[in-house]
């Protein structure tokens, strides 16, 4: 915990003397929060703490009136504006805690609270890092014992992110120079789009722990074809499996899923931006290999990519605005059906392995050292 706290306040959020750090902890042991307080103070910073409970948050949201949610957002937005940095520790005893909350309340929470406080203020105006906390619930999703999952968690969270940053620079350079992207994968995945002139941002321990991705955004109306995600997802309290999306000129025109299809229409009708994509990212964390239905891990899976309906990030902005940001993951390793990522006619990754010389250091065997 001490090592992780030092990583989060040092490498991730780079707390400087006199700066204010908000620590928001959901169902996390007090001992970890205290380690973060100490680490922040050791760097001369001023820690602030919000201790949350997922069960309590459910009770607030499921029957909360708009005026109540707006008041909560107003208070928390005022505090967020006074912060230089933010660390979000997100534990949870039940991954489906929000299941059954009325859809209109989830949408209200997204638009009236999450959008102004987090998507607009925290994401764009603070140095931030968000991470999960290992719980028996997460161990169950990963198919391991609690002890084994805790060991895995601390291995993946404290790897050499400085070395990863050096290797990711080459991918950033390639993405910044690329116009046309072609994605092939299992099922009928065959997708084409442009990323021309939209910045690529490597993520190597500064915004998420665990980390390991490089993201940009597609030119909003350039997307055509089909993507068939092969990684399960939990979103707004519901579980989805084998989501399939069809795009025409940047817009989702067809959608289906093996599990959760009945919820897709409501999500993609949240607003106009929900039917467009705000992020395209390539994942390469060498320790994260299998889905565990937790997006902060799954979007970093080695050999994966995610293609995200909803809000774009301002630092890789294609102009898309939405109250949702739903990271959906496609794994292209051979054991998941294979696939290719092609930049301007050149295959850079095949079956989850980078095959061009400048990107070889991003393969799992090299990142593990």
Tens digits of pLDDT across the chain (369 residues): 999 999 999 989 999 999 999 999 999 999 999 999 999 999 999 999 999 999 999 999 999 999 999 999 999 999 999 999 999 999 888 877 888 899 899 999 999 999 999 999 999 999 999 988 888 888 887 788 999 988 888 888 878 888 899 999 999 999 999 999 999 999 899 999 999 999 999 999 888 888 999 999 999 999 999 999 999 998 987 899 999 999 999 999 999 999 999 999 999 999 999 999 999 999 999 999 989 888 888 999 999 999 999 999 989 999 999 999 999 999 999 999 999 999 999 999 999 999 999 999 999 999 986
- Residue range(s) defining the domain that contains residue 284: 161-367
Q: How far is CA 15 from the centre of its chain?
A: 22
What CATH number is attached to the domain comprising 112?
Answer: 3.40.1830.10
Torsion from C-alpha of 338, 214, 3, 9, nearest 10 degrees: -160
Q: How far is CA 44 from the centre of its chain?
A: 29
CA 314, 316, 321, 322 torsion: positive or negative? negative
310 and 356 within one domain: yes
144 and 25 within one domain: yes
223 and 152 within one domain: no
199 and 134 within one domain: no
351 and 212 within one domain: yes
181 and 128 within one domain: no
Q: Strand pairing of 277-283 and 213-216?
A: antiparallel
β-sheet with 201-203: strand ranges across: 201-203, 213-216, 277-283, 304-309, 329-331
245 and 169 within one domain: yes
147 and 11 within one domain: yes
Residue of 348, 272, 246, 263 whose CA lies nearest to 303:
348
Q: Which residues does residue 51 pair with via DSSP β-bridges, in sequence order?
A: 25
d(CA 200, CA 129): 18
31 and 140 within one domain: yes
Given 112, 141, 157, which residue is the final one in a domain? 157
pTM of the predicted structure, to 2 decimals: 0.77
Q: How many helices and strands in the chain, by DSSP H and E?
A: 12, 20
275 and 358 within one domain: yes
Given 157, 182, 209, which residue is the final one in a domain? 157
Number of structural domains the chain divides into: 2
DSSP state of 291: -
Residue 334 CB coordination number (10 Å): 12
205 and 343 within one domain: yes
| Cα Rg of the chain, angstroms | 20
185 and 106 within one domain: no
Helix %, strand %, coil % for the chain, to 5?
40, 25, 35
Given 97, 130, 157, which residue is the final one in a domain? 157
The CA–CA distances, whole Å, from 46 to 25, 28, 356 equal: 16, 20, 45
């Amino acid at each position: 915990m001490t090592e992780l706290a030092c990583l989060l306040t040092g490498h991730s959020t780079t707390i400087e003397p006199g700066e204010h750090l908000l620590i928001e902890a959901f169902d996390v042991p007090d001992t970890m929060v205290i380690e973060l307080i100490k680490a922040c103070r050791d760097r001369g910073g001023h820690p602030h703490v919000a201790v949350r409970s997922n069960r309590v948050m459910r009770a607030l949201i499921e029957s909360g009136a708009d005026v109540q949610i707006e008041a909560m957002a107003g208070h928390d937005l005022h505090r967020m504006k006074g912060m230089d940095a933010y660390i979000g520790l997100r534990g949870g005893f039940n991954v489906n805690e929000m299941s059954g909350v009325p859809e209109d309340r989830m949408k209200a929470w997204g638009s009236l609270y999450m959008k102004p406080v987090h998507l607009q203020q925290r994401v764009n105006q603070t140095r931030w890092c968000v991470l999960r906390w290992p719980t028996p619930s997460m161990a169950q999703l990963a198919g391991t014992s609690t002890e084994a999952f805790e060991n895995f968690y601390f291995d993946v969270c404290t790897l050499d992110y400085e070395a990863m940053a050096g290797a990711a620079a080459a991918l950033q350079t390639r993405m910044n120079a690329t116009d046309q992207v072609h994605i092939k994968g299992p099922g009928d995945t065959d997708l084409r789009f442009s990323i021309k002139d939209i910045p690529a941002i490597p993520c190597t321990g500064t915004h998420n722990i665990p980390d390991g991705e490089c993201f940009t955004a597609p030119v909003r109306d350039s997307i055509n074809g089909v993507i068939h995600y092969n990684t399960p997802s939990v979103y707004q309290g519901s579980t989805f499996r084998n989501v399939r999306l069809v795009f025409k000129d940047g817009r989702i025109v067809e959608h289906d899923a093996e599990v959760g299809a009945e919820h897709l229409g409501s999500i993609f009708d949240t607003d106009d931006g929900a039917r467009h994509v705000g992020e395209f990212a390539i994942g390469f964390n060498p320790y994260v290999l299998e889905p565990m239905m937790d997006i902060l891990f799954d979007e970093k899976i080695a050999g994966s990519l995610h293609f995200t309906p909803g809000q774009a990030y301002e630092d890789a902005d294609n102009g898309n605005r939405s109250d949702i940001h739903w990271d959906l993951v496609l794994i292209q390793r051979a054991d998941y059906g294979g696939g290719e990522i092609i930049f301007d006619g050149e295959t850079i990754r095949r079956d989850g392995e980078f095959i061009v010389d400048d990107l070889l250091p991003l393969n799992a065997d090299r990142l593990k050292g």
